[in-house]
Amino acid sequence: MEPRGGATVDTGGLRMALRVPPGPFFLSELLPVHVWLHNHSGHAIWYDGYPSPVPGKSALFVTVTGGAPPLFDLPWHAPFHGPRPPLGTLNAGETLSMDFLVPLTASGAVTLTARGRLLASVVQRASVITTTEWHPVPTGWPAVVLHVASQAPPERILHLHRRGAQVMVTAAQGAVPLLLYQDLVTCTGPGQTKTMIGTDDWQRLPAEGLREPDCPGTNKQWQVMVSAPGFAIASARY
Q: CATH number, domain at 103?
A: 2.60.40.10
Task: Kindly provide the residue ranges of all beta strands, DSSP E only, lying in the chain, ordered along the sequence.
Answer: 6-11, 14-19, 25-26, 30-39, 45-48, 60-71, 87-90, 95-103, 106-116, 118-125, 128-133, 143-149, 159-163, 166-170, 180-188, 194-198, 203-204, 210-211, 218-227, 234-237
Q: How many other β-carbons are positioned within 10 Å of the β-carbon of residue 121?
A: 10
Domains held by the chain: number: 2
pLDDT surpasses 50 at 97: yes
Q: What is the pLDDT of residue 11?
A: 85
Identify whether the C-beta of residue 102 lies closer than 8 Å to the C-beta of residue 65: no
Bridge partner list, 47: 88, 118
Q: What is the pLDDT of residue 2?
A: 41
Q: Is the pTM higher than 0.95?
A: no
pLDDT surpasses 80 at 189: no
Q: What is the pLDDT of residue 197?
A: 78
- Average pLDDT rounded to a whole number, residues 131-138: 68
Domain boundary among 149, 172, 192: 149
Greater pLDDT, 203 or 131? 203
> Which amino acid belongs to residue 180?
L
Classify residue 1: in a domain, yes or no. Answer: no
Q: What is the pLDDT of residue 76?
A: 77
Domain boundary among 108, 129, 149: 149
Identify whether the C-beta of residue 96 lies closer than 8 Å to the C-beta of residue 89: no
Clarify whether residues 111 and 186 are in a common domain. Answer: no
CA distance 207 to 14: 42
Identify whether the C-beta of residue 233 lies closer than 8 Å to the C-beta of residue 105: no
Clarify whether residues 93 and 168 are in a common domain. Answer: no
Q: Left (φ > 0), alpha (ψ -120 to 50) or beta: where does 93 sit? A: left
The domain of 93 spans 6-149
Of 90, 88, 92, which Cα lies nearest the Cα of 43?
A: 92
- Average pLDDT rounded to a whole number, residues 5-26: 91
Q: What is the pLDDT of residue 182?
A: 93
3-state secondary structure 84-135: CCCEEEECCCCEEEEEEEEECCEEEEEEEEEEECEEEEEEEECCEEEEEECC
Instruction: Look at strands 87-90 and 166-170 and give their pairing.
Output: unpaired
Clarify whether residues 84 and 36 are in a common domain. Answer: yes
Q: CATH number, domain at 218?
A: 2.60.40
